[in-house]
């Protein structure tokens, strides 16, 4: 089974059943996002759990984690793509277009401002937030950062709260 459809600048959404594995994702239209090559958006629950230090999916529910906040940008090993945005749940990721666009533009910002998974680079994150602000508007990025601050409070993660507050302050002062 395979279906695809167009939705805004997301280009094709794909759903495929390959053997017993569901593959869900889409490709960003390069023209809509000013990209030289497409960027894919793929759902990979295990990668997102590993990248964010979560051992099991039920930790998200227990801790009240909004899975839309958990995304990662990966560079592509293929010459056909700029890279890939990895999300936990593709359907939920697409549910709020304003938040989705802010996340997409923030992650595209990592093409210019790369950050390793095991490090924190506040200047790079702010530059990516500014890209989201410039291209997706203020509401989506402010919502994203407020949700990230809320998440930090739920988890008792003072570093996440501090970094997110600095990022929000930088956006609000543009």
CA 130 – CA 169 distance, rounded (Å): 11
CA–CA dist 1, 165 (Å, integer): 44
Question: Is there a contact between 124 and 115 (Cβ–Cβ < 8 Å)?
Answer: yes
CB environment 33-43: b (16+ within 10 A), e (fewer): bebeebbbbbb
Q: What is the pLDDT of residues 82-99, one digit of tens each?
A: 999 999 999 999 999 999
Q: What is the pLDDT of residues 50-79, one digit of tens each?
A: 988 888 989 888 888 999 999 999 998 989
Proportion of the chain in helix, strand, coil states, percent, rounded to 5: 50, 20, 30
Alpha carbon distance 98, 118 (integer Å): 28
Average pLDDT over residues 128-141: 97
Is the CB of residue 41 less than 8 Å from the CB of residue 84?
yes
Backbone angles phi, psi at 27, to 5 degrees: -125, 135
Task: Tell me the chain's radius of gyration from C-alpha atoms.
Answer: 16
Residue 15 has pLDDT above 80, yes or no: no
pTM for this entry: 0.86
């Amino acid at each position: 089974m395979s279906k695809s459809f167009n939705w805004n600048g997301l280009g094709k959404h794909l759903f495929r059943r390959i053997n017993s594995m569901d593959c869900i994702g889409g490709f960003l239209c390069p023209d809509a996002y000013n990209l030289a090559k497409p960027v894919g958006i793929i759902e990979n629950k295990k990668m997102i759990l590993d990248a964010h230090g979560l051992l099991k999916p039920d930790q998200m529910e227990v801790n009240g984690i909004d899975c839309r906040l958990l995304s990662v940008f990966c560079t592509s090993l293929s010459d056909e793509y700029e890279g890939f945005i990895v999300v936990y749940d593709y359907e939920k990721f697409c549910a709020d277009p304003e938040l989705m666009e802010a996340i997409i533009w923030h992650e595209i910002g990592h093409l210019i401002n790369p950050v390793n998974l095991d490090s924190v680079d506040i200047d790079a994150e702010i530059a990516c937030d500014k890209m989201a602000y410039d291209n997706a508007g203020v509401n989506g990025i402010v919502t994203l950062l407020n949700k990230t601050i809320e998440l930090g409070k739920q988890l008792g993660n003072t570093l996440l709260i501090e970094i997110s507050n600095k990022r929000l302050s930088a956006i609000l002062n543009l």
